[in-house]
Amino acid sequence: MRNKNYLRWHKPEEEEVKDNSSKKEMSPIDKAMSNLIKMKEAVKLLKASAPTVRKYARLGYYKEYRFGEKLVFYDKEEILNFILNRFKTAEDS
């Protein structure tokens, strides 16, 4: 009896596969928005304080995306590229 109830409410695997394929077909705007991270995550990535993260954005190392006064996002790829380039230049000198 328990197995029949479970099967009745359990989704078939075919529907789950269709859901995964729709996630792959994201619009360019959705892809860009999924790559944005908040200030707190940027601070952790850079291992720096919030004012330092803002300063680097002001200096043009990466872009800062503002939605209103307090909502600030950063592009994760740009920050990772900044980190990699910073270490490459440190190795060269």
CATH number at residue 71: 1.10.1660
Tell me what the mean pLDDT of segment 12-41 comes to: 72
Query: The whole model's pTM is what?
Result: 0.64
Of residues 23 and 86, more confidently modeled: 86
* SS3 readout for 14-70: HHHHHHHHHHHCCCHHHHHHHCEEEHHHHHHHHCCCHHHHHHHHHHCCCCEEEECCC
- Is residue 75 within 8 Å of residue 36, measured between CB atoms? yes
- The number of folded domains in the chain is 1
For residue 9, what pLDDT is reported?
A: 59
- Is residue 24 within 8 Å of residue 34, measured between CB atoms? no
Q: For the segment 35-86, what is each residue's pLDDT rounded down to a tens digit?
A: 899 999 999 999 999 999 999 999 999 999 998 888 999 999 999 999 999 8
- Which domain covers residue 13, as residue numbers? 2-92
For residue 75, what pLDDT is reported?
A: 94
For residue 60, what pLDDT is reported?
A: 94
